[in-house]
């Protein structure tokens, strides 16, 4: 027989059930006019939105309900239980909106903390994720201790992989998310407050090198010394931690705090070229007008070819319009065809269209590389 659970997944079909004979046939599945979806009451509770979402078979209505879910703050344990039941279904469609709903909580909702604490202590990674997402904005010290305990547990594998079984992979990602939230918690503390979890991230990055990405993202000014040591180390684990840290998405203001150190590394010929190159990229990304002027002056006087290349790297990473003349020379005269092409693409984002077209005409006529000439002609035809 076709059970209600099976039938619920047959949108656009109907089940003909005659005793032991069951037949599934297609029905008209043309899109439902969104204007025909009944208006949602303004005062719906989260538990009511969830129940209606589960019962609905019409996609436009489900779309409207899941959007409402993200804008509906849970008010009590019944609301939270309903959200958790839907979250536990492993349906990715509403999960993002459920997490949006949980982010509407604040320290004023501290009475809900016991619910989240119980979930964080549950062995099921899905429950732990829900518990952490809900507890984050409560700022409850007891919840923080629970998260610290979870985040301090040992990573059984250094990084996730396709070879891991699903429970182990889920546990790895849950622990990583816990550490991310602890780092984010530190980042929202008042300016000048000492970080509470920096040492935890350094420790856990030894077991799971991807944690170094969080270390750089949330603690860049404090972590840069360690990152540089890892970059110069002969230890493979340190080098892997350095790679993850350099690849992190670091706020520009955090990078700018360390401009002096990054500049010193760029010009330090005792350091590895890879370390200097990564420092040059970060220096360029953080560069303000004064730093760009310094780099242009360095470019004009630097004699060492390798260091000059690093200065160019920093200048190009800055994407400052004052760098356009240097890029133009690069696009015309660099001996490597791919370098000329890259400079040309960046100039296309910086120069006025008429000026860029004039440069394209030169490249289409004079560049030594056939692919570069063809690309320039293609751009001119647009």
Rounded to an integer, what distance in angstroms lies between the CA atom of residue 157 and that of residue 305?
A: 42
Confidence check: pLDDT of 362 > 80: yes
Confidence check: pLDDT of 2 > 90: no
Mean pLDDT calculated for residue range 171-187 = 95
Mean pLDDT calculated for residue range 364-378 = 92
Cβ neighbour number for residue 142 with a 10 Å cutoff: 12
Rounded to an integer, what distance in angstroms lies between the CA atom of residue 218 and that of residue 183?
A: 6
Question: Residues near 272 by Cβ (< 8 Å), separated by ≥ 6?
Answer: 231, 232
Q: What is the pLDDT of residue 38?
A: 65
Q: What is the pLDDT of residue 171?
A: 93
Q: Please report which confidence band the pLDDT of residue 226 belongs to, taking 50, 70 and 90 as the band edges.
A: very high
Rounded to an integer, what distance in angstroms lies between the CA atom of residue 247 and that of residue 212?
A: 10
Q: What is the pLDDT of residue 268?
A: 97
Q: Left if phi > 0, otherwise alpha if psi is -120 to 50, otherwise beta: which for 359?
A: alpha
Rounded to an integer, what distance in angstroms lies between the CA atom of residue 28 and that of residue 351?
A: 54
Confidence check: pLDDT of 1 > 90: no
pLDDT tens, position by position, 33-91: 445 556 778 789 999 999 999 888 888 888 899 999 999 999 999 999 999 999 988 77
Contact indicator for 187, 179 with CB cutoff of 8 Å: no
Q: Left if phi > 0, otherwise alpha if psi is -120 to 50, otherwise beta: which for 195?
A: beta
Contact indicator for 231, 239 with CB cutoff of 8 Å: yes
Q: Please report which confidence band the pLDDT of residue 20 belongs to, taking 50, 70 and 90 as the band edges.
A: low
Q: What is the pLDDT of residue 37?
A: 56
Mean pLDDT calculated for residue range 330-349 = 90
> For the CA atoms of 109, 112, 118, 123, what is the dihedral angle to 10 degrees?
-60
Nearest to 74 by CA among 39, 42, 50, 38: 50
Nearest to 327 by CA among 297, 349, 307, 294: 349
pLDDT tens, position by position, 155-167: 999 999 888 999 8
The pLDDT > 70 percentage for the chain reads 90
Distance set, CA 51 to CA 48, 115, 265 (Å): 5, 20, 58
Cβ neighbour number for residue 151 with a 10 Å cutoff: 23
Confidence check: pLDDT of 23 > 70: no
Averaged pLDDT score across all residues of the chain: 89
The pLDDT > 90 percentage for the chain reads 73
Cβ burial of 340 (10 Å; 0-12, 13-18, 19+) is buried
Mean pLDDT calculated for residue range 281-288 = 96
Q: Which residues pair with 109 in a beta bridge?
A: none
Token pair of 13, please? 């079909």
Rounded to an integer, what distance in angstroms lies between the CA atom of residue 382 and that of residue 377?
A: 9
Nearest to 211 by CA among 225, 223, 193, 221: 223
């Amino acid at each position: 027989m076709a059970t209600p659970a099976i039938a619920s997944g047959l949108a656009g079909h109907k089940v003909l059930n005659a005793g032991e004979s069951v037949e599934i046939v297609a029905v008209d599945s043309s899109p439902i006019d969104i204007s025909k979806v009944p208006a949602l009451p303004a005062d719906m509770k989260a538990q009511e939105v969830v129940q209606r979402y589960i019962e609905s078979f019409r996609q436009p209505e489900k779309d409207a309900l899941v959007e409402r879910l993200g804008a509906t703050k849970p008010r009590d344990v019944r609301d939270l239980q309903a959200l958790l039941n839907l979250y536990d279904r492993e349906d990715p469609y509403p999960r993002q909106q459920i997490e949006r709903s949980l982010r509407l909580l604040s320290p004023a909702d501290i009475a809900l903390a016991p619910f989240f604490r119980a979930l964080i202590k549950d062995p099921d990674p899905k429950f732990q994720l829900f518990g952490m997402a809900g507890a984050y904005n409560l700022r409850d010290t007891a919840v923080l201790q629970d998260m610290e305990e979870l985040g301090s547990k040992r990573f059984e594998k250094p990084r996730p992989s396709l070879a891991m079984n699903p429970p182990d992979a889920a546990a790895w990602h849950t622990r990583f998310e816990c550490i991310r939230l602890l780092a984010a918690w530190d980042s929202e503390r008042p300016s000048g407050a000492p970080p509470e979890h920096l040492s935890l991230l350094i420790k856990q990055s030894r077991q799971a090198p991807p944690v170094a990405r969080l270390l750089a993202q949330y603690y860049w000014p404090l972590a840069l010394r360690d990152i540089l040591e890892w970059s110069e180390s002969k230890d493979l684990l340190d080098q892997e931690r350095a790679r993850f840290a350099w690849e992190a998405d670091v706020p520009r203001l955090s990078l700018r705090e360390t401009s002096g150190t990054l500049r010193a590394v760029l010009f330090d010929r005792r350091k590895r070229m890879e370390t200097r190159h990564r420092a040059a990229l970060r220096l360029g990304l953080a560069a303000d007008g004064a730093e760009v002027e310094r780099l242009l002056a360095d470019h004009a006087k630097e004699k060492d070819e390798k260091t000059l290349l690093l200065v160019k790297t920093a200048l190009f990473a800055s994407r400052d319009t004052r760098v356009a003349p240097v890029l133009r020379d690069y696009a015309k005269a660099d001996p490597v065809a791919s370098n000329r092409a890259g400079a040309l693409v960046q100039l296309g984002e910086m120069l006025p269209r008429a000026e860029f077209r004039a440069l394209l005409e030169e490249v289409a006529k004079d560049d030594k590389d056939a692919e570069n000439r063809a690309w320039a002609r293609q751009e001119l035809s647009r």
